[in-house]
Structure 1
Amino acid sequence: MLSALDRRHTVAPPGYSRWLIPPAALAIHLCIGQVYATSVYKNSLIAHFDASQTAIGVIFSIAIVMLGLSAAAAGTWVERNGPRKAMFVSACFWAAGFLVGAVGIATGQLWLLYVGYGLLGGIGLGIGYISPVSTLIKWFPDRPGLATGLAIMGFGGGAMVASPLSRQLLSLYDSGYDPGATAGATASGTALVWLFVTLGVGYFVIMMFGVANVRVPAADWRPAGFDPERAKVKLMVTTASVSAANAVRTRQFWLLWVVLFCNVTAGIGILEQASPMIQDFFREEGASAVSVAAAGGFVGLLSLFNMGGRFVWSSTSDMIGRKPVYVLYLGVGMVLYLLLALFGQVAPALFVLLACVIVSFYGGGFATMPAYLRDLFGTYQVGAIHGRVLTAWSAAGVAGPLIVNGFLDAKGAPGTLTAAGYRPALLTMLGVLAVGFVANLLVRPVPERFHEPAAVGSGGVQGGIAR
């Protein structure tokens, strides 16, 4: 049965529709995107374990760090074994993370939650995140930005599904839990156990849909109307192939690592403090007060723009190019951060507009990166290269909160700050974006000395068609 997961058994038959591949990828990304919904039951875990916010918050940090590390370590394995086996392994680790976490909650052992959701779940996150990427790029050589945007959009939207679902499940398992409460609601330990079990089993079943339907194209397959030999050659798009081992030796790889790190760090600057930020900005005398419920709605709106930006901006990059679209993300992002810092307190509508566009750039930066890597390094081992670049996400997931919280702690306690208290943190994020902006401008085509021989690059993985 396990042999059915081998790459050779996943080659698509003639006539197989490439439009079946994005739903298979979405089945994975919508499930693992649940990691952004951990705040729903954070207070319940704090109450159950009688632990600090920091002790519970470490669970999320471990998961994100493991995402980057596992994506980097398993990247070449994913390329070698194909998407079906990788997605199956991702589903096993992701589901096991919930089930081991449930045992930790049931026994009151917090370290088991670290090992389960944090360590095992984080491995599932990393492998699941990269497993559909190179496959989608091979199926959509004519529109790689659109293809990766469709899948990675699911990761941004996973929390939109998981948040209300988790609340309803907690209310089902604990009659005293109010899913509509705006703050302070906590569920029982038993409800948390069954929540984790339900999510673990449910996500595994959904991810199996992706496993069953994913296919890789035959080596000689081309989309209708696409002729790589006649495609217009673009300066920043290679027809050659670069291995993952060689990619990390290039300046281009590390410049894109910096670009992603800066984009993610700046985006986290908004997402990490979204709810208290909008309330604190309008706490000053004469400003319109923003309620807790409205702040919660703002967080939901940010999630929507995070998800939509992954598809819209990534698709736009197919038309204007990857480098220009990152000029947009980082350059316009600097202007928006400056406006938010100086004038964000003028009106709630202005604040929301600026924050939403910034977060859409954050999402777009994630979704466009695989296509950018494909342009520079070819399709040969782009999934493995993408996995290694994602270590920038792990680093940003630690650096972003540390930078923002460091500034805010120096200004006062949450709930007592004003717009002026946030200004140093926001202006620092502007500087972070400036570093990424310069790094993007320095990106040039990869020198030929890093290219693979033509026979290697085209050996069954379509290495030489990326125009």
Structure 2
Amino acid sequence: MEEKLSTAYKAVQTPTGAENVSAESPIKPLTLKQAIFTPDYIFMYIMFFANQLFGVIVLSRLSSMCTDIFNKSAGTASDIVSVNSVFNCCGRLAFSSISDFLVRYFKMDKAFARKVLYYFTLGAQIIVIGALPTVIRHESFTFFVIEIFVLTCSYGGGLGTIPAFVTEMFGVYNIGPMHGIILTSLAFGAVVGGITFNNAYNGKIADGMSVGEAYIDNIQVIFVIVCIGFVVLFLVRTNVEDRFEPGYHYSVCGKRVISIPPKEKGMKRQEPEAESAAPKLPETAV
């Protein structure tokens, strides 16, 4: 009797694969190769690269910025770096939780809720990085620390939300390799971006530029890349009809603003023309 009840309980409580595919967020099954070459995944890769770039390059030099620009002691700089790590952790937890909150209580589409969070993280970085040169020139250490903490939260939030964003867009089938591939943008920014930043910074210092201005020139380049990432995020489609229709289509408030037909469409049009141009054989009388 107990075994029968246990079996019945499992049959009711255990969801099947078919039940996991809901009508609210349908996901088109794609192979790994198909998924990573979709426009949405490519745009997500660029967006994520822009979101993480400031964090992997500039935040790694936070201690040096505190001592070289603001003339703070090594102990103070070390304390700032330690506290900054807390904001990194809080950003990872808070932003991913907020996106879940938007889904549960505001009934947002899951993928769109993740996208909204990236609008916030990138938008916050644009505002803060845009104001950072003024803060550095005025040597306002308090405002500098506040801005760095905000940037670190945005950096951590982007890193913590990307697994959910990829899953909502493409499903769980290839989530492992797809998440790994998109994280290569983080490594690319750290290695290539870090080397480029250091070479440019050292070159400007060798030319006689002040430490603050050398940082500002490099930060302005990052600012442009973050702005590009914000624009590219707009092109990531969370609308199901737009994503699954052949070609590239983008709708805003139910109105289609971008419509690019698939390349195969032209070939399909030529086939009927070729058939009509072919000579017709006389019909055999019966």
Deviation at 1:219, TM superposition (A): 5.7
Q: Which one-letter code corresponds to 1:279 in the other structure?
A: T
TM-score by length of 2: 0.69
Q: What are the within-5 Å matches in structure 2 for residues 242-321 of structure 1?
A: 242-282=30-70, 289-320=71-102, 321=113
In 2, distance between residues paired with 1:246 and 1:312? 32
The reply on whether 1:447 has 2:244 as its aligned counterpart is yes
Aligned mates of 2:174, 2:21 — CA distance in 1: 19
- % identical aligned pairs: 27
Task: Return closer, same or farther for 1:386/1:251 CA change in 2, 3 Å cut-off.
Answer: same
Equivalent residue, structure 2, for 1:329 = 121
Where 1:380 maps in the other structure, the secondary structure is coil
After TM superposition, the structure 1 = structure 2 runs for residues 28-177 of structure 1, keeping only pairs within 5 Å, are none
TM-score by length of 1: 0.43
Given that residues 330 and 433 in structure 1 are in contact (C-alpha distance below 8 angstroms), is that contact kept between their aligned partners in structure 2? yes
CA–CA distance in structure 2, aligned partners of residues 369 and 218 of structure 1: 28
The one-character-per-residue Cα deviations of 1:151-188 (angstroms, maximum 9, x if unpaired) are xxxxxxxxxxxxxxxxxxxxxxxxxxxxxxxxxxxxxx
CA–CA separation in structure 2 for the residues paired with 1:449 and 1:218 = 36
CA deviation map 1:420-452 (0-9, x unaligned): 2211011111111011111111111432569xx
Write the letter of the residue equivalent to 2:244: P
Q: Distance in 2 between matches of 1:257 and 1:14?
A: 45
Query: Is 1:405 matched up with 2:198?
Result: yes
Provide the rounded CA distance (Å) in 1 between the counterparts of 2:226 and 2:204. 23
CA distance 1:14–1:396, change in 2 (3 Å):
farther
Residue 250 of structure 1 aligns with an amino acid whose one-letter code is T
Q: Which runs of 5+ in 2 are unaligned?
A: 1-6, 103-112, 248-286
| Structure 1 spans left out of the alignment, 5+ residues | 1-12, 17-216, 283-288, 451-467
User: In structure 2, what is the Cα distance between the partners aligned to 1:256 and 1:379?
Assistant: 17
2 CA distance for matches of 1:365 and 1:292? 29
In structure 2, C-alpha distance between the alignment counterparts of 1:352 and 1:306, rounded to whole Å = 14
Which protein is bigger by CA-based radius of gyration? 2
Amino acid aligned to 1:300: S
SS at match of 1:390: helix
What one-letter code is carried by the residue in structure 1 that aligns with 2:234?
A: L
Q: Which runs of 4+ in 1 moved over 4 A?
A: 13-16, 226-229
Secondary structure of the equivalent of 1:379?
coil
Q: Distance in 2 between matches of 1:361 and 1:421?
A: 24
Per-residue deviation, residues 386-435 of structure 1 (Å, max 9, x unmatched)? 1221221221121221232123102227xx95322211011111111011
Instruction: Give the match for residue 90 of structure 1.
Output: none
Amino acid at match of 1:272: S
Matched ranges for 1:293-442 at <5 A: 293-320=75-102, 321-344=113-136, 345-412=138-205, 417-442=210-235
2:56 aligned partner, one-letter code: I
Match of 2:58, SS state, is helix
